[in-house]
Amino acid sequence: MSDETIEPSSVAAAPGEDHAGHVHVVPPWLLLAVFAALLVLTFVTVAITHFDFGRTVNVWVALGIAVAKATLVALFFMHLKWDSPFNGLVCVTAMFFVALFIGITLLDSKETAVNFQPPPVPAARPAE
Amino acid sequence: MSDLVSKQQAAVTLAGDPFSPTRDPHHGHPPHLAHHFETPEQQYSSAKVGMWVFLATELLMFGGLFCAYSVYRHNHPEVFEFAHHYLDRSLGAINTIVLITSSLTMAWGVRCAQLGQRRGLVLCLVLTLIGGAGFMTIKTIEYHHKYVEHVWFGAGNRYSKHYQGPSINEGPFGGHQSESALRMTEGERQEAAADKEMMAPTTQPTESFGPAFVDPNAGTPDESKIKPTQVIPAGLSTRVRPEVGEEVRYEDLPQFEKDRVSTFFNIYFLMTGLHGIHVLVGMGLITWILVRGARGAFGPLYYTPVDLVGLYWHLVDLIWIFLFPLLYLIH
């Protein structure tokens, strides 16, 4: 939190206007560091497909890297790290419900459709 | 003198009339502060909460598509392993880098707006726009290849039952992603036709292998309405399980998986298409704040639009971060 923060006095704020006091300016080195981390993770996620950990593990590894990248973007590029926690709550809630939606649907899919095959063609009805 | 007094009185009267066109529209507060907010700070945080709620609905909308993707991939992993070979992962990786870079310039643009650096803001926004345009250009190249190779969506997909295009042995197939293994030869087409023949209404599944299905709830109200069509021996799967490292080939897929290959492309086009529309919308919004920013509308006291458009742009980046490995990087 000791990053550059514009002091209200430096921007000649109008009386009662404390908006400027809440400006959090992300320092350039942090932006570049996040960018570099995102590039490295992109490289890793491509490179990792050359290793076979099995079908399931590969998906989870790819998803884990994607979640790490998304966290970096949300925390630093989208300012969630310095924002009101309520904004983060909104974001996390949306993610939670998406996960719930997909998870429960997959559970059901697992129960009913593992060996799903197209139904056999019904027997020809006797002519009436 | 009396003239001046009457003018002042007139001004007071006008200022009190909210419908007067000549009154001071801001009556003392900064021009960017709407009347129904106490302070710019309150206005700013309200706008930001509103934007985040909107982004939450965006996540939920894409969540529906990710759900369709998950169910389909879970049930038909080998279809994905076969069909994703039509996607060029180099172009996908380049697009990822392009989008991440444009996110960086957007975040930098917000920083410039906060610091009141007008030229820096304009430069950053122009770079972001170039990034978005580059992304859409590469996406168009990818879509074009798929159109030309008849792996388009709907009836334009050669794997679709409703395929309307020319025979897949004809037509302008370029060098892109055109390994012969990916294409059916005439013999394979006949084979596929024969497979369909097998499933024609005249044939009945005469015997199922394995024990007959026993419904534990038979005779009760809980008796299952949907009987399994086939009971397979425990430990066996009807799915193709290729050896590790072996590519899934179209010929190896059972017929009911072959029929589903075109669904992969429908999901691909729906997800990347909706994402592409978001990129276009984002580019429009960036153009809007670019014009305003060039006129000096933003500074340390007021940069809310830049911030909110930035949030939208980062969300588009964030969704692509998930789309890229899920669609292009299937092992």
- pLDDT of A43 reads 94
Distance from CA of B322 to the nearest CA of A (A): 6
The reply to whether residue B301 touches residue A110, judged by beta carbons under 8 angstroms, is no
- Considering the domain boundaries, does residue A126 fall inside one? no
Please state, in angstroms and as integers, the Cα–Cα distance from residue B327 to each residue in A47, A75, B101, B269, B285, following that order.
15, 25, 21, 11, 27
- pLDDT of A36 reads 96
Are A66 and A47 contained in the same domain? yes
Are A14 and A35 contained in the same domain? yes
Are A49 and A17 contained in the same domain? yes
The reply to whether residue A110 touches residue B74, judged by beta carbons under 8 angstroms, is yes
- Considering the domain boundaries, does residue A122 fall inside one? no
Of A34, A46, A120, Cβ closest to residue B205: A120
Distance from CA of A4 to the nearest CA of B (A): 10
pLDDT at A13 over 90: no
- Considering the domain boundaries, does residue A108 fall inside one? yes
Distance from CA of A26 to the nearest CA of B (A): 7
Are A94 and A52 contained in the same domain? no
Spatial contact of B47 and B308, defined as CB atoms under 8 Å apart:
yes
> Domains in chain B, start-ordered, CATH in brackets?
51-164+261-331 (1.20.120.80)
Could you report the per-residue pLDDT of B283-299, keeping only the tens digit for each? 999 999 999 999 988 98
pLDDT at B216 over 80: no
Most confident of A55-64, A103-112, B244-253: A55-64
Structural domain total, chain A: 2
- Considering the domain boundaries, does residue A124 fall inside one? no
* Between residues A44 and B20, the one the model is more confident about: A44
* Between residues B102 and A113, the one the model is more confident about: B102
ipTM over cut 0.90: no
The range of the structural domain enclosing residue A97 comes to 84-114
The reply to whether residue A70 touches residue B321, judged by beta carbons under 8 angstroms, is yes
- Considering the domain boundaries, does residue A14 fall inside one? yes
Are A62 and A78 contained in the same domain? yes
- Considering the domain boundaries, does residue A76 fall inside one? yes
- pLDDT of B77 reads 84
Find the closest chain A residue to B319 by CA distance.
Answer: A70
Are A105 and A91 contained in the same domain? yes
- Comparing A64-68, B15-19, B81-85, B297-301, the range with the smallest average pLDDT is B15-19
* DSSP H helix total and E strand total for chain A: 3, 0
Chain B hits for A31, CB-CB cut-off 8 Å, are: 104, 107-108, 111
**Would an 8 Å CB–CB cutoff place B229 in contact with chain A?**
yes
Are A55 and A102 contained in the same domain? no
- pLDDT of B175 reads 33
Are A45 and A92 contained in the same domain? no
Could you report the per-residue pLDDT of B142-190, keeping only the tens digit for each? 999 888 887 888 777 878 877 877 766 433 333 333 343 344 455 555 6
- Per-residue pLDDT band for B257 (boundaries 50, 70, 90) equals confident
CB contacts < 8 Å between A and B, how many?
185
Chain A hits for B62, CB-CB cut-off 8 Å, are: 98
Between CA B120 and CA B301 the distance in angstroms is 17
- Considering the domain boundaries, does residue A49 fall inside one? yes
Are A70 and A104 contained in the same domain? no
Are A7 and A41 contained in the same domain? yes
- Comparing A46-60, B20-34, B126-140, the range with the smallest average pLDDT is B20-34
- Per-residue pLDDT band for A107 (boundaries 50, 70, 90) equals confident
**Mean predicted confidence (pLDDT) in B201-227:** 55
- Considering the domain boundaries, does residue A128 fall inside one? no
Which residue carries 């809630």 as its tokens?
A93
Are A8 and A43 contained in the same domain? yes
**Would an 8 Å CB–CB cutoff place A57 in contact with chain B?**
no
Between CA B185 and CA B168 the distance in angstroms is 8
